[in-house]
Amino acid sequence: MDRLMSDKKTIFTLVAPGFLILLSMILLPIAMSVYYGTTDWSGIGSFNFVGLENFKNIIFHDDVFRKSLLNALYLTVATILIQHPLAILLAILITHCGRWEKVLRTILFIPAIISVVVTAKLWASVYNPQYGLLNNMLETVGLSFLKQDWLGDPRFAIWSVILVVMWQGFGYAFLLYYAGLKGVPEELYEAAKIDGANYFQLYGRIVIPLLAPMMRVAIVIAVITCLKQMEVVFLMTNGGPGSSTQLLGNYLYQTAFSKGLYGYGNAISVVFVIIVLIITVILNKILTRDVGEY
Amino acid sequence: MVEETHQNQINIPKKRPLRSVGKVILYAIMALIGIVQIFPLIWLFDYSLLKSGDFFGNAILQIPNPPQWENYISAFTQGKVLPYFINSALVTFVSVVLTAVVSVLLAYAITRMKWRLSALVANIILIGMMIPIHATLLPNFIIFHKIDLLNSYWALILPYTAFNIPISMFIITGFMQTIPRSIEEAAVIDGSSIFGILRHIIFPLTKPAIATISVVNFINCWNEFIMAYTFITADKYKTLPFSIIQFTGQYSSNYGAQFAVMSLIAIPSIIIYLIFTDEINKGLMAGSIK
């Protein structure tokens, strides 16, 4: 048995296909980015080695890069402060909905499985100043003074985009907390009831603290997803107006493919990966240190 | 283990009835959020049946009178929905199957076989989970350009598979650890090889986990857009999301048909979701908790 289980040839045959695909499609490209990131290549012809020049420029002199990071930060903070509390509240409320529970759960998750292209183009229409749903709704409820060109005005554009990202991601956040709630043993509710606890005490002192490990996981996922977010912006505003809705992935794409700055674009890729890795490691250290069982 | 607990978490509702006033408020809040989540889609279907001229009113929803089903016909023909649909189906199917096969093999080698680099390989695969897709777009574009892989099905299948491997492998690993070793030992005594064990024992027993990852990977590949947009420019290989992109570009004033093409793309995802709700939920949660 042991000899069979440590047969080198078999192990190689099992590991090689998957590992090679992963290596060649994800890790080799990143290594290449590190190399090209140190050049001034423009996609055609020869190029010069410029050392860490690109990286220095990105970190110290690139305003759009800074704006992209700042926007990612807005998105992250809005997600954690608005989307997640709402998702927790809803996860709690839905357990009281009896036979509607399953229907509501399904409805809440539908936006999460819709193609991002549909989501982005649909919401671009919702925000459309001529026929958009949002302005029509404001008009109908007598708030027509609030009507805006939601994506055209730099003051509102980033928040309009953030709302779309939150709309699409809401079901997923909700589902995580819902799963966490379902993991709380029924006896705890019974015991609390026998002890005369009201709903606020029940949730404030027992259920929410038990949900803490799931919150940590959900927040780690949310932060990483927010940093990586790109498609919605790419399809709705392409970073504009100006760079008011720019995000890292989109800026990288523009630099590389629209402006043809391959060297600089690759350097942005590398910085992007490093940022995501560092934040992931730090968050994992801080937040999942003592994930308990209940 | 993971699979079992999630099944319980999802399927067993807790019955704790509220008093009537609370109930009214509760349902009001739930209805409000439910409407916010679903209303843009209802609006989409509604407007997909309108004449383009009817778009510019202040009504929130309009009764299509008569419903313009020809919007769907022009979406279908001008949006090239059918050829792109076939490309999407082909790319998605191959990616999903390939991911499932290589993930099972990887998971088996890592949970059962004894080799020195096992932990290292597992960790490298885990790093793959953290790499943003967008950071690989440019280098992969350069590589694909050099080896002449741009504008081919493989230019999508390979990266789709690569990005689905890490999470799939970890879900299957978790599941595989619950399979008792004694079954394999018995098979070995009967003279079975590793590949015999994989085919006759591991694969059948891992089916629930394979189903879960496949459904989730299906949704991922089906909806994937940015890699397709980067690696494919030839009409012959374009996938379904391109229908919307091209349609909104070329027929920008035909609003009704634009909305119809969006509906056509959204409907299959929604149907798949309604059929496989539990598998999708299980997959997403198993993936996040790992």
Q: How confident is the model over A261-290, as pLDDT tens digits?
A: 999 999 999 999 999 999 988 988 887 665
Q: Which residue of A has its CA nearest to B139?
A: A29
Summarised one tens digit per residue, pLDDT across range A178-231 is 988 888 888 888 888 788 778 788 888 888 888 888 888 889 889 999 999 999
Q: Is B275 on the interface with A (CB under 8 A)?
A: no
Q: Is B61 on the interface with A (CB under 8 A)?
A: no
% of chain B beyond a pLDDT of 90: 48
Q: Is B90 on the interface with A (CB under 8 A)?
A: no
Closest alpha carbon to A88 in A184, A158, A191, A193: A184
Show the tokens assigned to A233.
């912006």
The alpha carbon of residue B211 is apart from the nearest alpha carbon of chain A, in Å, by 17
The alpha carbon of residue A154 is apart from the nearest alpha carbon of chain B, in Å, by 23
Q: Is A175 on the interface with B (CB under 8 A)?
A: yes
Alpha carbons within 13 angstroms on the beta-carbon side of residue B104 total 24
Q: Is A101 on the interface with B (CB under 8 A)?
A: yes
Q: Is A177 on the interface with B (CB under 8 A)?
A: no
Answer yes or no: is pLDDT of A23 > 90. Answer: yes
Question: Pick from B33, B125, B255: which is nearest to A90 by CB?
Answer: B33
Answer yes or no: is pLDDT of A177 > 50. Answer: yes
Q: Is A203 on the interface with B (CB under 8 A)?
A: no
pLDDT at A209: 87
Closest alpha carbon to A21 in B73, B233, B43, B156: B156
pLDDT at A158: 95
Q: Is B18 on the interface with A (CB under 8 A)?
A: yes
pLDDT at B75: 84
Which of helix, strand or coil describes residue A49?
A: strand
Summarised one tens digit per residue, pLDDT across range B106-116 is 999 999 999 99
Q: Which residue in B88, B131, B184, B264 has the most chain A C-beta atoms within 10 A of its own C-beta, making it the best mutation to test that interface?
A: B131
Interface of A with B in 35-54 (CB under 8 A): 36
Burial letters A123-133, b for 16+ CB under 10 A, else e: bbbbbbeebbb
Dump the DSSP string for A209-276.
HHHHHHHHHHHHHHHHHHHH--HHHHHHTTT-STTTT--HHHHHHIIIIIS--HHHHHHHHHHHHHHH
- With bands split at pLDDT 50, 70 and 90, how would you rate the model's confidence at A1? low
Question: Pick from B37, B133, B288: which is nearest to A111 by CB?
Answer: B37
Contacts of A32 in chain B (CB under 8 A): 139, 142-143
Answer yes or no: is pLDDT of B5 > 60. Answer: no
pLDDT at A290: 56
Interface of A with B in 54-83 (CB under 8 A): none
The alpha carbon of residue B74 is apart from the nearest alpha carbon of chain A, in Å, by 18
% of chain A beyond a pLDDT of 90: 60
Q: Which residue has the tokens 């149907």?
A: B271
The alpha carbon of residue A253 is apart from the nearest alpha carbon of chain B, in Å, by 8
Show the tokens assigned to A93.
């409320």
Mean pLDDT of A35-45: 87
Q: Which residue has the tokens 């305003």?
A: A63
pLDDT at B12: 45
| Beta-carbon separation of A113 and B137 below 8 A | no
Summarised one tens digit per residue, pLDDT across range B239-260 is 999 998 888 777 777 888 888 9
Answer yes or no: is pLDDT of A145 > 90. Answer: no
- With bands split at pLDDT 50, 70 and 90, how would you rate the model's confidence at B7? very low
